[in-house]
Amino acid sequence: MFLPIKRQLFEYLKLLIDSPWKIILIFSVLGLFGILNHSMWRDEMNTWLIVRDSDSFSEMVNNVHYQGHPLLWAICVSLVRNITDNPLIMQLFHLSLAISSISIFWLYSPFNYRQKSLFTFGYFPFYEYCLIARPYALGTLFLLTFCATFNYRQKTYLMAAFLLGLMANTNVYPLLVSLALSSMLLLELVFNQKHRKTYFKQAKKYDLSLSIVILIVLYIIAIYIILPPGDSNNHGGLDEGWVFYFDFHRLLIALVRLIAGYFIIIPSSSQWLDFDLILCALIAVFIFGLTLIKLVKKPLIFWFYLSANLAIFAFTYVKFLGSTRHFGFLYLTLITAFWLANYYPNSNFLVNKFKLKSELLNVVKKWHYIAFMIILYVQFLGGIIGFSRDALSFHFTNPYSASRQTANYIQKNDLNNEFIVASEDATMAALSGYLNRKFYYPELQRIGSFTLFTKERQEISHSEVLKQVNFLLKNDQSLAKILLILNSKLEINETNLNITPLQSFEKSLIRNEKFYLYFLSEKI
């Protein structure tokens, strides 16, 4: 009598365990816990401040133009800011993007249960592109949605055009991946007769031309906003601008960025030749070559993977060496290649072209699977460590930035109404966002919140900061004292000022987002 009921309960339990929604729910709950404990840093809050303190949409566009990022993330932030002035709403929106990406991945990707689980809680989806509110999550969502809707290209290119165009408007790395995918679609339309016949039979007459127009317009907008204005001093982390000469050491550094995308490490060395650097470069080339051979029976995917990686490598070499977060799209390019490969039958075109033997292909297939699983496990380990370090920072470890602890102290001690001088201005965005107010920036000699790296802005010393504080106190009779916030300890004893240290907040993973608070007043 009870046997059928037990069997039914067992089936329900098995369905629950195997259900993708279980993992999605766990990801969502942990993600919410993570953002509630994450201390935002300047790069996150700067966009919020641009949206908050720009007087018009055109001014916002002009300010974003100096950031080196396209406009889409700022537009999204401006929409959610209509709900509340609390920057937490930006984090919640960012979390919804990450959850949407993971949901699409679980519901539509061809990977097995273990691979999906490892990817979900990997470094980029679970930590970097989930807890840290930046435009990369938008790019990830559009990329995975493109993969899930790839078959629609047989009827219309409009969806692909919108997704690739929007992806391009999130960040320069998604832009490069988008260009590689667009070139792949173009090659398919030109050389795949079967696909071309199917498409023209089902698509509307205006579909192709309209799709091309939409894509080109969105690409132009993205590139225009990314390229900085003439008076910008923001070189994207590279003081010398563009590098069009050969530098072997820089070549090695650019090569190992593939390691950053796959294994979350960036070996660095100031030496021209370094064993670790050369070893990592060889590993990067090996994995890259192994993957190309693995994809050789899928010529279009082979081209996509090759062109996307070469584009990111070229940008890395000539312009911006970047940090770990920038190279998540190398990892996502790998995931995308394997996902899209499932849409295509095998072809021997490149196998015959390169005269590859079946024995080699079988060996590569075996060893690439091992390499791919190692990458997934390393990503998973990095995700757990990164998430735990950040989400538990308020209780056990250093917070990502000392900004929120500093803001809490200022609010708790009723200091938010004081006249605040803050330096260095570029590190103060998170404080301005949490306190919902502006500061006086000595670098600009005026009140501000976000930072634009223009020629107007000048780097200054603590001595110059104190001179400006002294000037403000002497020329404004309403100021009896000034609250000074620095991102490094004040070592100067200014004879014309009374300097009273208040508090310091030195626990921060971001090395220059530690904060030191002082009260300054004139000596009588």
Residue type, 104: I
| pTM for the predicted model, two decimal places | 0.93
Task: Determine what percent of the chain is predicted with pLDDT higher than 90.
Answer: 78
Q: What is the DSSP letter of 228?
A: P
Are 260 and 124 a contacting pair, CB within 8 Å? no
Summarize pLDDT for 264-307 with one digit per residue, the tens. Answer: 987 766 665 677 788 888 888 999 999 999 999 999 999 999 99
> Which two structure tokens, joined as six digits, stand for 35?
């953002």
Summarize pLDDT for 303-312 with one digit per residue, the tens. Answer: 999 999 999 9
User: Of 294, 249, 292, 245, which is closest to residue 268 (Cα–Cα)?
Assistant: 249
Summarize pLDDT for 431-479 with one digit per residue, the tens. Answer: 999 999 999 999 999 999 999 988 888 889 999 999 999 999 999 889 9
Say how far apart CA 45 and CA 73 lie, in whole Å. Answer: 12
For residue 491, CA distances in Å to 128, 462, 466, 516 come to 35, 8, 11, 11
Q: What is the CA radius of gyration of the chain?
A: 26
Whole-number pLDDT of residue 238: 40
| Residue keyed to tokens 């091309």 | 212
Q: What is the DSSP letter of 454?
A: B
Whole-number pLDDT of residue 392: 84
Task: Determine what percent of the chain is predicted with pLDDT higher than 70.
Answer: 93
Are 58 and 76 a contacting pair, CB within 8 Å? no
Say how far apart CA 168 and CA 155 lie, in whole Å. Answer: 23
Q: Is the pLDDT of residue 12 over 70?
A: no
> Which two structure tokens, joined as six digits, stand for 440?
């006086």
Summarize pLDDT for 206-230 with one digit per residue, the tens. Answer: 999 999 999 999 999 999 999 988 8
Residue type, 332: L
Cα 325–327–331 angle (5° rounding)? 115
Q: Over the chain, what is the mean pLDDT?
A: 91
Burial of 114 (0-12, 13-18, 19+ CB in 10 A): exposed
Say how far apart CA 462 and CA 493 lie, in whole Å. Answer: 10
- Give the model's confidence band at 175: pLDDT under 50 very low, under 70 low, under 90 confident, else very high: very high
Q: Which helix (H) or strand (E) holds 447?
A: strand 446-448
User: Of 176, 104, 122, which is closest to residue 330 (Cα–Cα)?
Assistant: 176
Whole-number pLDDT of residue 239: 41
Mean pLDDT, range 470-498, rounded to an integer: 90
Q: What is the DSSP letter of 25?
A: H
Least confident of 7-21, 332-346, 399-413, 476-490: 7-21
User: Of 501, 507, 461, which is closest to residue 484 (Cα–Cα)?
Assistant: 501
- Give the model's confidence band at 237: pLDDT under 50 very low, under 70 low, under 90 confident, else very high: very low
CB atoms within 10 A of CB 351: 18
Question: Is 240 or 140 the better-scoring residue by pLDDT?
Answer: 140
